[in-house]
Amino acid sequence: MTRLDNSGLAGGAATRSEATIGKRIGMLLVPDTGLDAEIWEWCPQTVTPIITRLQVPDNCAEEFAAVDEVIGSSDVVEPATRSLFGNRMLGGTNPDIVVLNCTSASFVRGLEGEASIRTSMLRAGAPRALTTSGAVVGALTALNARKVAVGTPYDAETNQALAKFLLEAGFEVGSIPTTEIQHLDHASDNQIRAIAAAAYDKHASAMFISCAALRTRHLIQELNARYQVPVITSLQATMWAALAQVNERVAASDHVLHSLQWPGSAPLLPV
């Protein structure tokens, strides 16, 4: 199974006040994503997420794929990464890992594009780097998934790019249904349930609901039970993978990824 290239990458209960000197995860979010509270919910009390927004120029192309390419470009990713680290003038928060928390921006240019985003973050000072799409590959690998049912809020063109990415990473993917949601940050629970229902494939060994802007944490167990397969969502996979790299686990012992380690067959982020 082909996996993402990892060349050049490095790798008692506490109170929240104590967590400020514990592990830190730098999260790079797109401006229209408002999942800060859910990011905190995934973190154990020993980990602090340091959240910042990518500054996307307002003169980028209107086409969705082109916007995703801009989001994942070095011109956007590197300044956001550098903002987390100190310089000679002023200290920084200095997270242990930096994460680009956008699924489509990290799959739209395939495995090579995903690797280039991580390289940009490392070049800007990140000690380790992760993308949402890379996290999804790691999560599906940890689950030994082969055929994956995929649901998204994207248009058909973006779904094609996602299918190509997953196929390139070694997974079997059927057709991805188009269940578009115009305002992702305000997606309802029923809209997310509809994405899962459209994606369901009785022959799949896992289901993946794509888009890191969707609030899904409270729905995952329900969907697992309904479809009787592990259901992975973008933010769930991202937080599991980021925490695994700093030797922590997601704060959700009943979730399917909680006890799983980062798979040795997908060593995206060697320590």
Asked whether residue 253 carries a pLDDT value surpassing 70, the answer given is: yes
What's the token pair of residue 21?
Answer: 């000197």
- pLDDT band of 170, cuts 50, 70, 90: very high
CATH number for the region 16-132+239-245 comes to: 3.40.50.12500
pTM here is 0.87
Instruction: Sort 186 into a burial class: Cβ within 10 Å, 0-12 / 13-18 / 19+.
Output: exposed
- SS3 state at 48: strand
Average pLDDT over residues 162-168: 96
How high is the mean pLDDT of the chain?
87
Specify the pLDDT at position 224.
Answer: 95
Taking the mean position of all CA atoms in its chain, how far away is CA 254? 20
Residue 1 has pLDDT above 80, yes or no: no
Q: What is the predicted pLDDT for the residue at 13?
A: 41
| Phi-psi region at 15: left, alpha or beta (left = phi > 0; alpha = psi -120 to 50) | beta
Whose tokens are 């799409």? That residue is 133
- 209 and 216 Cβ atoms separated by less than 8 Å: yes
Half-sphere exposure of 56 (CA within 13 A, CB side): 20
Residue 83 has pLDDT above 90, yes or no: yes
Fold match between domain 16-132+239-245 and domain 137-234: yes
The pLDDT > 90 percentage for the chain reads 70
If you classify domain 137-234 with CATH, what class do you get?
alpha beta
Cα distance between residue 25 and residue 101, in whole Å: 11
Q: What is the DSSP letter of 184?
A: G
Full DSSP string of 213-255: TS--GGGHHHHHHHHTS-EEEHHHHHHHHHHHHTT---S-TTS
pLDDT tens-digit profile of 193-232? 999 999 999 999 999 999 999 999 999 999 999 999 999 9
Q: Taking residues 162-189, report their average pLDDT.
A: 91
Query: What pLDDT score was predicted for residue 270?
Result: 37
- pLDDT over threshold 80, residue 163: yes
Query: Residue 38 is inside which H or E element, if any?
Result: helix 36-42
* Strand pairing class (47-53; 129-131): unpaired
pLDDT (0 to 100) of residue 63: 46
Average pLDDT over residues 62-72: 74
Is there a contact between 181 and 187 (Cβ–Cβ < 8 Å)? yes
The residues spanned by each domain of the chain are: 16-132+239-245, 137-234
d(CA 229, CA 271): 31
pLDDT at 11: 43
Residue 89 has pLDDT above 60, yes or no: yes
- pLDDT tens, position by position, 14-36: 444 444 468 999 999 998 888 99
Q: Which of these, 79, 14, 23, 90, lies nearest to 52 by C-alpha position?
A: 79
